[in-house]
Amino acid sequence: MRVLCCWLWLSLACLGCAAESSETVPEPAGGDARYTIVTTTAMVTDIVQQVAGDRATVTGLMGTGVDPHLFRPSTSDHSKLLAADVIFYSGLMLEGGLDPVLKKARERGKPAFAVTEEIDPAYIRYSAEFEGHPDPHVWNDVAAWSECVAYVAEALAKYDPPHADEYAANAERYRAELAALHQYAQKVIASIPEEQRTLVTAHDAFEYFSRAYHIPVKSVLGITTESEAGVEDINSLVDFLVEHKIPAVFIETSVNSRNIEAVMEGAAKRDWQVKIGGTLFSDAMGAPGTYEGTYIGMLDHNATVVARALGGEAPERGFQGKLAATP
Ligand SMILES: [Zn+2]
């Protein structure tokens, strides 16, 4: 039997506390003193930073390469969360390990917001296998993540009403960039010849990407990041690659590439050479301080690398000419 995805079992183990609402009445910040925000994943950190601007110091808990499904806050993470003025997290049961400390923070009257709190329900995907559980990887659809940016501005306006206009303006400016990125991704993915337009990766973090940019996705492991694929999973993927002459498969920064290698070897035995099209960012972004370490850079990298490796047309340096040159 297929092993449950880590985000599923974490959330199942934590159903009792997942019902917590973020309807805490925030205390207004007042004045112009900088306040502190603690965030979880780098994707959340980036959009909160964009909207808060200079009003707050934003500290993210999860660095490069951290698997948010498995994240457990350390003692120092606990202290940071409880000392913050405001907390933002991704939500949709992504960070199941944080539930106890979020509960504690809320009991102390601390505002804690899931950025996905008010996203249009039409955007949310639910796992076919386990009805009722959302797929948390919503940042892989730029239009959906852009709604979260709007929500961050609303949440900060509740916390700090005197600067509401500033947060709204920051969100609007950033969302215009996201709209352009979304269009770019649609365009470059659409340029891949239809027969080859399938994204083969190690785990199912790309279902939102698939839906938003119209590229079917196949993964070796379904929705888990933890188990090893069975021989049947590998063989059926090999059949697919050979039959459709798919030129490339993709590895992910936070997931072991062993299964993908097995698939490539299987195809090679049948005289179909598949190359590694590149490394995609799925649950974590690139190194801090680099373009790929921003949300826009992460999505630009993924769309550009996929389009180019599968025979589509995309500029080597991506959407804004800022991607690192390929070696
Ligand atoms: Zn994931």
The domain limits of the chain are: 7-12+35-184, 193-309
Cα 254 to averaged position of ligand 1 atoms, centre (Å): 9
Residues paired with residue 59 on neighbouring β-strands, in sequence order: 38
pLDDT above 60 for 225: no
Which of 159, 187, 150, 126 is CA-nearest to residue 50?
Answer: 150
The three-class DSSP label of residue 27 is: coil
Which of 306, 281, 277 is CA-nearest to residue 295?
Answer: 281
Determine the Cα–Cα distance for residues 52 and 39; give it in Å rounded to an integer.
12
Q: Does domain 193-309 have CATH number 3.40.50.1980?
A: yes
Structure tokens at 97: 């390990």
Cα 69 to averaged position of ligand 1 atoms, centre (Å): 6
Torsion of CA 51, 297, 304, 245, to 10 degrees: -100
Determine the Cα–Cα distance for residues 228 and 326; give it in Å rounded to an integer.
30
Higher pLDDT, 281 or 67: 281
> According to the model, what pLDDT value does residue 126 have?
86
Which of 120, 52, 54, 118 is CA-nearest to residue 86?
Answer: 52
Residue carrying the six token digits 């972004």: 285
Cα 127 to averaged position of ligand 1 atoms, centre (Å): 13
> According to the model, what pLDDT value does residue 5 have?
40
What number of CA atoms fall less than 13 Å from residue 241's CA on the CB side?
33
Cα 143 to averaged position of ligand 1 atoms, centre (Å): 19
The three-class DSSP label of residue 293 is: helix
Cα 70 to averaged position of ligand 1 atoms, centre (Å): 10
pLDDT in tens, 145-201: 999 999 999 999 999 999 999 999 999 999 999 999 999 999 999 999 999 999 998
Q: What is the pTM of this model?
A: 0.86
Q: At what angle do helices 99-107 and 75-83 cross, to 10 degrees?
A: 30
Q: Are domains 7-12+35-184 and 193-309 of this chain identical in fold?
A: yes
Q: Does domain 7-12+35-184 have CATH number 1.10.1060.10?
A: no
Cα 229 to averaged position of ligand 1 atoms, centre (Å): 16
> According to the model, what pLDDT value does residue 21 have?
40
Cα 185 to averaged position of ligand 1 atoms, centre (Å): 21
Helix then strand then coil, % of the chain, to nearest 5: 45, 10, 40
Cα 283 to averaged position of ligand 1 atoms, centre (Å): 5
Cα 88 to averaged position of ligand 1 atoms, centre (Å): 18
Cα 153 to averaged position of ligand 1 atoms, centre (Å): 26
Residue 144: which residues within 8 A CB-CB, separation 6 or more?
A: 119, 120, 123, 138, 208, 212
Cα 194 to averaged position of ligand 1 atoms, centre (Å): 27
Residue 19: which residues within 8 A CB-CB, separation 6 or more?
A: none
Cα 182 to averaged position of ligand 1 atoms, centre (Å): 21
Structural contact between residues 199 and 306, judged by C-beta atoms closer than 8 angstroms:
yes
Cα 3 to averaged position of ligand 1 atoms, centre (Å): 14
Measure CA of the first residue to CA of the last residue in the chain; give whole Å. 41
Cα 137 to averaged position of ligand 1 atoms, centre (Å): 6
